Each structure stands twice: as C-alpha cells, then as structure tokens.
Amino acid sequence: MLLRHTPETLADRSALTVNPAKTCQPVGAMYAALGIHNCLPHSHGSQGCCAYHRSALTRHYKDPIMATTSSFTEGASVFGGQANLLEAINNIFTIYGPDIVAVHTTCLSEVIGDDLGQIINKAIADGKIPKGKRVIHTNTPSFKGSHVTGFANMTQSMVHYLAENTGKRTGQINIIPGFVEPSDMAEIKRISSLMGVKSILFPDTSEVVNGPLDGRFHMYPKGGATVDQIRSAGDSAFTVSLGSTASLSAAKLLDTKCGIRFKDLELPIGISATDAFVDALRKAAGVSVPDSIMVERGQVVDVLTDNHQYFYGKKVALVGDPDQLVSLTQFLTDMDMKILYVVTGTPAGAKFEESIRGFTGPETIIKHGLGADLFYFHQLVKNNKPDLIFGNTYAKYIARDEDITLIRIGFPIYDRVGHQYFPVVGYRGAMRMMEKILNALLDRQDRDAPEQNFELIM
C-alpha cells in the first residue's frame, strides 16, 4: 500500500493537499436542504457533481437521496447557466411538486459567476415558481471551505429567505443543531421535549435520511422543519446554536435580521457540553431540569466512574469536523485521556485552536485548513502512536497500516451502520460513546493478552 511509504519527517505544505480530511461544500448544503420538509435540493452545475454529492450522502445514510441538477453542458459552461436553472425550476415544480427548492452552486457555476439571486427573481417574474412555493439559494464553491461550511451557508440562507419577524414574540426557542446525524437531531429534540421547552430545530434531518422502511417510496419523507416553522423562527424568544463552524452564522443573521438573542455553544457531545446545553435551555425557557434527565446524567457518570481505569492515560488522535472535534476533545479529556493530535481539513479559524487548547494544553498538536489532511495526520501518528484514532471511514487505512484501533465518528462513514439511528450527543450519546471506546480498548486488550493473562475479569 502507498500508505506504507508515508515518511515520518513532517514538512509544511501550503499548496498541496494529499487525501483531504474533508469533502466539498455542496455535500453539506445538500444535507442541510434535506432538513426542510418537502424540500428538493438542487445542484446548479454538471450532472457529475450532483451524482457525487448524492452518492456520498446515500452511501453514508444507506438511504436514497433525492436531488436535481441544472445539467451543465459545454454551452452552459461558456454562456452561463441561467437558461438551465430557469428550465429546471419550472420542471421541478411541474413534475415533483416540492414546497421549496434549495439551490446550491458548484465549482463550475461559481467560476462562471452565475447570479443565482437574479435568476430566482427572474423565475418569479416569469411565473415559473407557483404561488405559495419558494426557491432559496446559497453559494458553495467546492474549491474553498468544506461540507461543514456548505451546511452553514445553506442554514444561513434559510434564515435569509424564510425567517420573518412579525413583532409578536412566541416564546419558543430556536435550536440550530450543526452538522450532526439525524439521530443526534432527534436526541436534541427529545431533550428539549423532556424539559418542556417549545422549540424549533432547523435544519432537521431526523426521519428524512433515517426513516423507516414501510414498503412504499416517499419522495418527501415526513421529517424536516417546515417552511412555516423556519419562518416563525424570526419571532422566537432565543436561539441556541450548536457548533460555531456550522451554526453560528445563521444565529448571528437571526439576531441581525429579527433581533433574536443567541448563545453559541459547543456540540453537546459528552457530559460537560451536554450540561451546558441543558443549562442554556433551562435559562432561555425558564424551566427546571426534570428528574428523568438527571437520572440519565447520573448513569453516564456512573459508567465513567466504574470504568475510569481503562480510560485513564490512553493516548488518542482525532481527525474530522471542527465542531465535533472540540466537543470530543473536551469529553475525552474529562475522561482523563491524553489528546496527541487534532486535525481538520475545514478552515476553522483561531477560535478552534483556542477552544482545543483550553481543554488540552500546549502539548497537543493542532492543525486545520491548508496542509491539514490525512497524509499529515498519518505522519503525526507515525511519530508517536496513539492507542486510539477517532475519525471517519477514510481513517481506517491509517489505523490498519499502523495497527491502531479506530473509533468511527463524523462524516462520511461508509463501512458501518448505526450512526443514523444512535446518537452521540446528549447523555445517552455520551453513554454510547463510552461503550464504543471501552469495548474497543478491552477487545484490543484481549487480542494482545498473553495466554496467562487472558482472563474473564480484568
């Protein structure tokens, strides 16, 4: 394998990426669009781009992803894609009948310079958008950012196009969940419901990309935040945004556009981050924390206490999405594990490194943006091997090459199931993560144990 020729000597690279630790913006934008009820995502570019974005999401969720494309050819590449998009909008509403179409750009349409706002206005003027239907858009060039920033851009566009302030505050709480699994979004809603908080979560992909198999095809599954719900977000009392990279821009726009105060939190992965989320909901809604949630928290603390000896001092390396990495770092350090490396291909800014440092200290190597790829991550691992690697499916090649146990988390995960249905956020998610980590460590301990130490009780 080529991985075995990865050198240990580290070198800064500013113009070359080898095996990027991310995927492109349109994938995240398409995923966010699926979180709107009766929405059809639309890729303004070539058929090949749309096919890749759909394929990536379909392979990850094991569910068919519906999306359309402007189907650029040589003519559109030279003269622009306005005619293609106008025809596409007309066909989509005529044939597929969605409530809303969410358009995102690709490299090709960005390089051409298509003005999607102007094209949508022309579609309205030409009567191609039926009364009561909506078309929104966001710009997501694949040559910058990542799937996380694409998600953020589409979520921000939901606020830009849909959220309205009527002047009548409803008392509800907006929750912007960030780039997480549908199972995580369902868990966030469950916690909110247990606390008696009236909330709107958007985007919401629960019961969209992890729906049940009932023998019938559903072009638009029953899940997702409705257009009316997102519109009413402009009248909410407060916004809780989870994950700075994926959610903060939408929360800021809600504040600017509709005067909705917000609190920016880390994703509620682990005990401390979930505590902060629950406390923010408690204060924003003026409610108390029910005993049922306190029982869940106590169970997590009990599991951690019972098995602390297995976690203590274990060396770990993390690669993936910035918002997940920050919360995961906090969780693992709370478990007294040692963080060696944190790498993300998403440009995450100074706040990302500052947050990680706040949990780990100066000894942890942190890299994001240019040069932060899986090749660099592999070099770090070769220099000082961790006990565990946390990352997506692509990290398994490094894990196998270096004989290190991999805990799969993040996007994409092509070779396992469960992430669609079992959360990693909240106290239940923390319990699941500890179980995965503990089982991985003990399986490795059994595998490596000499005969005389292969015991039932360790």
Contact 171, 137 (CB under 8 A): no
CA–CA separation, 352 and 343 (whole Å): 11
The gap from C-alpha 271 to its chain's centroid, in whole angstroms, comes to: 20
Among 288, 278, 320, residue whose Cα is nearest residue 406: 320
The gap from C-alpha 166 to its chain's centroid, in whole angstroms, comes to: 31
CA–CA separation, 39 and 102 (whole Å): 7
So where are the chain's domains?
25-162, 173-290, 296-451
Q: List, by residue number, the catalytic residues.
A: 107, 111
Tell me the pTM: 0.95
CA of 382: how far to CAs of 2, 85, 93, 399, 447, in Å? 14, 49, 54, 11, 22
CA–CA separation, 35 and 413 (whole Å): 19
The reply to whether domains 173-290 and 296-451 share a CATH topology is yes
| Token couple for 441 | 């460590």
DSSP per-residue codes, 356-407: HHHHH-TTSEEEESTT-BHHHHHHHHHHS--SEEEE-GGGHHHHHHHT-EEE
Successive 10-residue mean pLDDT values, the chain, 458 residues: 76 84 95 98 94 96 95 80 94 97 94 94 96 97 94 98 94 97 98 97 97 90 96 97 97 97 97 98 97 98 96 97 98 98 91 93 91 94 96 96 96 95 97 97 92 78
**Architecture in CATH for domain 25-162:** 3-Layer(aba) Sandwich (3.40)
What pLDDT is attached to residue 2?
56
DSSP per-residue codes, 257-306: HH---EEEE---BSHHHHHHHHHHHHHHHT----HHHHHHHHHHHHHHHH
Which residues, at least 6 apart from 211, have a Cβ–Cβ distance to it below 8 Å?
Answer: 63, 218, 221, 222, 223
Q: Could you tell me which CATH number the domain at 173-290 has?
A: 3.40.50.1980
Superfamily of domain 296-451: Nitrogenase molybdenum iron protein domain (3.40.50.1980)
